[in-house]
Amino acid sequence: MKNIIHRTLFFIALISTNTYLAGSTGKRTQFNTLRIYQIMVEAFQNGDSSRNYEKGYGPSDHQGDIKGITEALPYIKKLGMNALWLTPIFDSAKGSGPDLRLESTGYFCRDYFSIDPAFGTLADARQLVNRAHDMGIYVFFDGVFGHHKGEVKPSPTGKLPTGPNNPVKYPGSLEFYKEVATYWIDELGIDGWRLDQAYQVPVQYWRQIRQAVEAKCEQRRQAGEKWGTLGYMVAEIWSSADNISQQGYGPKDAPGLLSAFDFPLRYNLVQALAIEENGFGRQPAYVLNAGFNNFKKYPPQAIANLMIGNHDLVRFGDLLQRGGFGGPDNPQYWQRHRLAFSFLTAFTGPITIYYNEEIGAEVPGFAARVTENCVDFDLCDDHVARTAGRISNLNENEQALYDYLSRLMTMRAQHQALWNGERTNLAAGEFIYADLKSTATENILFILNTGKNEATFKINTVNLPSSKAHDLISQEVISKKGPNLEFKIAGLSSRFFLIKN
């Protein structure tokens, strides 16, 4: 039986309760354009067989390096991504610690001003950044400014962090990390930082580090540099909206950081389409709208960055199987990936794709092991997603999903309403979710159907700017019937309509 959903739009009445307002100028507009591709360096691609870590967490062969990433840039560009985030590539003094697996992650380094020889050379890093820039791709390094391996080498000006190694002490470590943050912008022209465990740095010192980065970027801009001028900094605070606000964004009159990953909304997304790592899921579509309520807890400067997964989370494909939605041999597996990508596409703010989500990556058999002791087979939830990267020899389903995401990213880049528009929720029911995304020049209707059956979505056109809708993917044009526009949405699918005359 078809689900019939009838919604009448009273546009002005909805704005006050269901709209997340996004600025249209300055840093917000720049940052909202970002379509970031995250790479776990030690796992992704082997471009230099003489450089690797013998061990690591997760199921890869731990032979990833900088040259491998450089070789993958055309694949990333074709996907439609315009930014690259690398897990830390600074020198971890390989073999000098008790756990080589931890060193291979890069998150406990000793020399913040040198490239890890197991990943490559400074020349390799420079080539990667330059080639990415030539292709119009920003490059973000991973900043671990709250902990280190111990016995850290001094900065070029002789500074050192203070206190213990995990966490370090502030304000004593402030000048050292300000130097780290600005050094690589000048040395390689990087475009910003992802900030690991950002809660370890008191928010008032994030404010000072950010200001140092912004000053360096402005200096380069004034000198005529094109790159190394963005200064995007995004916090990892894996916590509640309240904690993200307090520990990352800070108060509106003394802001700390301007952007943070939106873990709460990510969990709502996974609840609606798959199942959480802890087994909670199979929720109605309306949890997606409920997730935006957290935005009320953020200060005005907040620029949320939405993702599906990362190197510390279980891959979406494995969460689908853990939730009983089937594996790669089930069409639903690929349909639900498409739904997740479409939700990201319609999100106002920067978005991040974890490598190989675009081909529906999974770890075969992992979902069935959820009740076992993960240590016994060395695959735990917090590192199972660190699989060996694949960029070629894709099967039919993998290629189709890659191509679909590429089309979505191209569409997102072409339509500011998707990445920078005001969001007005029009429907949030058991299966149907619908938003109107609006700027001064365009309006796009995004409809998501999480049910298995076709649904009909009707909307009164009296307060719409037009009585016609143009499907941005299929090119179908829909005209009103009586007072309504009527949309057919296949099961487990989404549609994007440009509302125009």
**DSSP run (H or E) holding 28:** helix 26-32
Q: Does domain 23-420 have CATH number 3.40.50.620?
A: no
- pLDDT at res. 15: 31
**Angle of the 66-79 helix axis to the 396-414 helix axis, nearest 10:** 70
CA distances from 274 to 115, 256, 318, 397 (A): 38, 34, 9, 19
Q: In this structure, what is the dihedral angle of CA atoms 251, 252, 255, 256, given to the nearest 10 degrees?
A: 40
Tens of pLDDT, residue by residue over 379-404, are 899 999 999 999 999 999 999 999 99
Q: Which spans in 135-223 are helix H?
A: 174-188, 203-222
Identify the burial level of 431 via C-beta atoms within 10 angstroms of its C-beta, where 0-12 means exposed, 13-18 middle and 19 or more buried.
buried
Closest C-alpha among 454, 464, 450, 471 to residue 407: 471
> Which residues, at least 6 apart from 448, have a Cβ–Cβ distance to it below 8 Å?
285, 288, 339, 342, 343, 432, 433, 434, 489, 494
Per-residue pLDDT of the chain (501 residues; tens, 9 = 90+): 344 433 333 332 333 233 333 333 589 999 999 999 999 999 999 999 999 998 999 999 999 999 999 999 999 999 999 999 999 999 999 989 888 999 999 999 999 999 999 999 999 999 999 999 999 999 999 999 999 999 999 999 999 999 999 999 999 999 999 999 999 999 999 999 999 999 999 999 999 999 999 999 999 999 999 999 999 999 999 999 999 999 999 999 999 999 999 999 999 999 999 999 888 889 999 999 999 999 999 999 999 999 999 999 999 999 999 999 999 999 999 999 999 999 999 999 999 999 999 999 999 999 887 655 777 667 899 999 999 999 999 999 999 999 999 999 999 999 999 999 999 999 999 999 999 999 999 999 999 999 999 999 999 888 677 789 999 999 999 998 888 899 999 999 999 999 975
The answer to whether residues 454 and 473 touch, using CB atoms and an 8 Å cutoff, is no
Identify the burial level of 158 via C-beta atoms within 10 angstroms of its C-beta, where 0-12 means exposed, 13-18 middle and 19 or more buried.
exposed
Tens of pLDDT, residue by residue over 214-266, are 999 999 999 999 999 999 999 999 999 999 999 999 999 999 999 999 999 99
Mean predicted lDDT score pLDDT of the chain: 92
Determine the residue type at 176: F
- pLDDT at res. 18: 34
> Which residues, at least 6 apart from 348, have a Cβ–Cβ distance to it below 8 Å?
20, 22, 32, 418, 419, 420, 421, 422, 423, 437
Domain spans of the chain?
A: 23-420, 426-500
Q: Does domain 426-500 have CATH number 2.40.480.10?
A: no
The answer to whether residues 362 and 401 touch, using CB atoms and an 8 Å cutoff, is no
- pLDDT at res. 182: 98
Query: On the CB side of 322, how many CA atoms lie within 13 Å of its CA?
Result: 25
Determine the residue type at 264: P
DSSP 8-class letter at 155: P
The answer to whether residues 324 and 279 touch, using CB atoms and an 8 Å cutoff, is no
